[in-house]
Amino acid sequence: MASIENAAKPDAWFTIEHGVFKAGGRWTITESARLDQQLRTLDAGPGDAITMDAGAVEKLDSTGAWLLLRTQRALEKTGRKIGAVQVPERYASLMANLDRDDKKQQSHPLPRMSPWRYRLYRIGKATVEAGRQGWRMLGYLGRVTAETGEMIGAPRKNLRFAAMAVQVEETGISALPIVGLLAFLIGIVLAYQGADQLKRFGAEIFTINLLGVGVLREIGGLITAIIVAGRSGSAFTAHLGSMRVNQEIDAMQTMGLNTVDTLVLPRVIGLVISLPLLTFYANIMALIGGAMMCYFDLGITIPVFLRQLNQAVDVGTLMVGLVKAPVFAFVIALVGCYEGFQVERNAASVGQLTTRSVVESVFLVIVLDAAFSVMFSVLGV
């Protein structure tokens, strides 16, 4: 660590003898750590009056002045009578300033918290904040749902098709390469792992069942939703957040534009349209990846693959996966927009809330997926 301290040859000194505190040398920040320790253990000796003479000080900065002042205060507390600290004329105003500030502060003592209490305080604060966050999000969900309902009731009035189409492009079409590639790779991985295990039973052919059911019911939808949460949910938050930082949202409100209508609904509806389509596409890509792996690893040809797949899954299996997509989309868009509106007018806030938005939407997607699984098993689907 770099240090500005003057450790080699101490340049500041003080003595206390016969009721006179004398200080001299360079009382600056470079000497402060050493002076601080020595002054804390200062033994004032006998006598009930002490004169503080710092007239021999060559250089004094605010840190040095504080040390002098603190020493004076400490000696006063021991019940002795202490006069004002004598300093060279040019430093008189500095001492006077600090003295005035310090007295002002003493009259409003700061409530100090012990570290443990402070920790407890922070845990409590975070807990309450999490509760409030959930409550507010629920409120927001209500508002968006109500406005969506209204909009569907009277679509011509305030639906913004152009904005919606842009969102479908941004969140759907632009996501095709990444979603396709990842789904394809997942298909390969799944087929490979399945084949590896099932080979032991001589049941390689059931790799296709595993792949078909696994991808269509669960993996395809989940992977797509998570990618989209990371890709589009974050983009929603960052975009709306920077609009807030820029006061664009304030400007819209003063013009009487409904921000839910203009900013939230196109995103929500756009994503609700594009996520199921993306999911379907991801399913196909994963199956292609799986089929390729089956061919190279197990020697299962495409016609055999298709025949087995046909036996393993039906339209119902596909629908079970697809039915979840709009719900995921709604949640991702909602969280993304909600967090965007929470951004405060500073740069750090955009980053913080974007992170929070992604974490929350991925969390909610997985929770919802689990809820769907429970529901389907109860319904016997």
Partner 1 sequence: MVTEKDKNGQAKKDVVIHVEGLVTGFGKKIIHDHLNLDVYRGEVLGVVGGSGSGKSVLLRTIIGLNEPREGIVEVFGRRAGHAEGSRMRALEVRWGVLFQEGALFSSQTVAENIQVPLREYTSMSQELMDEIAAMKIALVGLPPDTAQKLPSELSGGMKKRAGLARALALDPELLFLDEPTSGLDPISADHFDQLIAELQESLGLTVFMVTHDLDSLAAITDRVAVLIDKKIKTGTIEELRKDTTPWIHEYFSGPRGHAALAGAR
Please report, as ranges, the residues that interact with partner 1 according to CB under 8 A.
Answer: 1-5, 28-30, 32-33, 36-37, 61-63, 66, 70, 90-91, 93-94, 97-98, 101-102, 104-105, 108-110, 344, 346, 348-349
> In degrees, to the nearest 5, what angle opens at C-alpha 275 toward C-alphas 171 and 348?
45
Our CB check for partner 1 shows the closer of 65 and 186 to be 65
Tokens at residue 183, please?
């789904």
Residue recorded with tokens 């304030």: 250
| Kind of pairing between the strands at 12-17 and 20-27 | antiparallel
- The dihedral sign for the CA sequence 265, 170, 365, 236: negative
Question: Of 267, 263, 264, 283, nearest to 324 (Cα)?
Answer: 283
Task: Tell me how far, at minimum, the Cβ of 81 lies from partner 1, in Å.
Answer: 24
Our CB check for partner 1 shows the closer of 11 and 369 to be 11
Residue 341's contacts (CB-CB under 8 Å, 6 or more residues apart) are: 240, 244, 249, 259
Task: Tell me how far, at minimum, the Cβ of 126 lies from partner 1, in Å.
Answer: 14
Our CB check for partner 1 shows the closer of 64 and 187 to be 64
Task: Tell me how far, at minimum, the Cβ of 2 lies from partner 1, in Å.
Answer: 5
What b/e string do you get for 58-70 counting C-beta neighbours within 10 Å, with b at 16 or more? Answer: eebbebbbbbbbe
Residue 261's contacts (CB-CB under 8 Å, 6 or more residues apart) are: 147, 151, 158, 160
Task: Tell me how far, at minimum, the Cβ of 108 lies from partner 1, in Å.
Answer: 6
Task: Tell me how far, at minimum, the Cβ of 43 lies from partner 1, in Å.
Answer: 19
E strand or H helix that includes residue 17 = strand 12-17
Burial class (CB in 10 A: 0-12, 13-18, 19+), 161: exposed
Q: Are 279 and 224 in contact (CB under 8 A)?
A: yes
* DSSP state for residue 112 in the 8-state scheme: P
Our CB check for partner 1 shows the closer of 133 and 174 to be 133
Task: Tell me how far, at minimum, the Cβ of 59 lies from partner 1, in Å.
Answer: 9
Task: Tell me how far, at minimum, the Cβ of 88 lies from partner 1, in Å.
Answer: 12
Task: Tell me how far, at minimum, the Cβ of 110 lies from partner 1, in Å.
Answer: 5
Task: Tell me how far, at minimum, the Cβ of 54 lies from partner 1, in Å.
Answer: 15
Our CB check for partner 1 shows the closer of 72 and 232 to be 72
Residue recorded with tokens 């999000």: 137
Q: Are 208 and 305 in contact (CB under 8 A)?
A: yes
Our CB check for partner 1 shows the closer of 121 and 363 to be 121
- Alpha carbon distance 265, 360 (integer Å): 20
Our CB check for partner 1 shows the closer of 2 and 162 to be 2
Our CB check for partner 1 shows the closer of 85 and 151 to be 85
User: Any bridge partners for residue 20, and if so which?
Assistant: 17, 51
Other Cβ atoms within 10 Å of 181 Cβ, number: 12
Our CB check for partner 1 shows the closer of 62 and 317 to be 62
Task: Tell me how far, at minimum, the Cβ of 189 lies from partner 1, in Å.
Answer: 38
Alpha carbons within 13 angstroms on the beta-carbon side of residue 48 total: 1
Q: How many residues does the chain have?
A: 381
Question: Of 288, 309, 276, nearest to 210 (Cα)?
Answer: 309
Our CB check for partner 1 shows the closer of 32 and 234 to be 32
